[in-house]
Amino acid sequence: MAVRPKYSLVIPIFNEQAVLPVLFHRLDRVLRDLDAPAEVILVDDGSSDCTPIILEARAKTDARYRFIGLSRNFGQQAALTAGLDRAEGDAVVLMDADLQDPPELIHQMIAKWSEGFEIVYAKRRKRSGENWFKLTTAHYFYKMMNRLASVEIPRDVGDFRLIDRKALDVFLQMREQDRILRGMFAWVGFRQTAVEYDRDERAAGETKFLFGKMLRLAIDGLVGFSDAPLRLALWLGACVSALAMLYGAYVGVTRMLANDYVPGWASTIVVVAFLGGFNMLLTGVLGLYVGRIHNEVKRRPLYVVRKTAGLEARSTPVRLMSLNPRAAAERRDPHLPDPS
């Protein structure tokens, strides 16, 4: 029976073959200096280059590494969830593969965890290699989120963090489709603290987190943790209705005082166009929430695993959460102990 790891490192990877040799070298040094056994869970998020081949080979030749290959690209948040579902450690660390998140910082996180903190997140002092547009939009996004959301998401913080098993078990019960993990970990609470660091440029390769993905993550965060857009739509609708009534009263009074008054075609078109466009805007806001409900009721899995390596000789069964506990119980192998 394999030794149960005390620490688990979960790393989602997508088309990062150029950076993998350096990543493995730095991870090996960190693992060697840890005070207890550790595992590294490498999650391939549907890469199209040689990344899955390299990851699988690593898992087969080094017992500390595990490989999970997803059937397609499900996105970073789903890939992180796939690794968290299978992490065995008492403390689990999330980090990116591009080495902008330095693995050496894990030692400082463990020190904070040893002091009793259940979640230790890495806060960026500097962000090298990122343009002014990304820095500015990120600043205002977190500022807006903390004004509107029901929980406060720390600024200049990504997914690089350490999570205690107690907090992780709560997180694993949250199976919503549109996920933003940094907000979900803020929601679960527990004692949290920060470890500051200077974020380096990518060690190799190109960023996969383009503007479209950034925008979708921002929308998921706003809609998932705040009902402010719905309340804003309500108040804006009420204001526009009031203005329309005032304008109607103005037209009526003008018609009575000026017998030669002829209603203008231009003003009619402006009002109709304004009200029509505004109605479409409010319908779009409502559609965002209805769309999220539609995604949830379909009850599709968050990800699909195509292949694994290194998970066979584990000390305990894989921890998998389900939207339907009864169905999970029916599918459970009777020869394995109940993971609960």
Instruction: Output the pTM of the full model.
Output: 0.65
Taking residue 163's Cβ as centre, other Cβ atoms within 10 Å add up to 30
Taking residue 110's Cβ as centre, other Cβ atoms within 10 Å add up to 19
The pLDDT value recorded for residue 290 is: 73
Rounded Cα distance between 196 and 123, Å, is 5
Are the beta carbons of 183 and 219 closer than 8 angstroms?
no
Helix (H) or strand (E) holding 55, with range, is helix 51-61
Are the beta carbons of 148 and 232 closer than 8 angstroms?
no
Q: Which of 10-24, 118-132, 318-332 has the lowest mean pLDDT?
A: 318-332
Q: Which listed CATH number (3.40.50.300, 3.40.50.1950, 3.40.50.980, 3.90.550.10) goes with 7-226+301-331?
A: 3.90.550.10
**Tell me: the pLDDT tens digits for 44-99?**
988 888 999 999 999 899 889 999 999 898 888 889 999 999 888 899 999 988 88
Rounded Cα distance between 76 and 74, Å, is 7
The pLDDT value recorded for residue 211 is: 54
**Burial class (CB within 10 angstroms; exposed 0-12, middle 13-18, buried 19+) of 211:** exposed
Give which of 25, 2, 320 is closest to 173, Cα–Cα: 320
Backbone angles phi, psi at 94, to 5 degrees: -100, 135
**Tell me: the pLDDT tens digits for 134-189?**
666 666 666 666 666 666 777 777 888 899 999 898 888 888 877 778 778 888 88
The pLDDT value recorded for residue 311 is: 81
Are the beta carbons of 39 and 5 closer than 8 angstroms?
yes
User: Where are the chain's structural domains?
Assistant: 7-226+301-331, 228-297
Q: Which of 46-55, 100-109, 253-262 has the lowest mean pLDDT?
A: 253-262
Token reading at 50: 């040689």
Name the range with the highest mean pLDDT among 124-128, 156-160, 197-201, 217-221: 156-160
Rounded Cα distance between 307 and 44, Å, is 10
Phi-psi category of residue 46: left, alpha or beta, with phi > 0 → left and psi -120 to 50 → alpha: left
The pLDDT value recorded for residue 340 is: 40
Are the beta carbons of 245 and 177 closer than 8 angstroms?
no
Residues 6+ apart with CB under 8 A from 270: none
Give the Å distances, CA to CA, from 142 to 89, 126, 177, 217, 224. Answer: 31, 16, 22, 12, 14
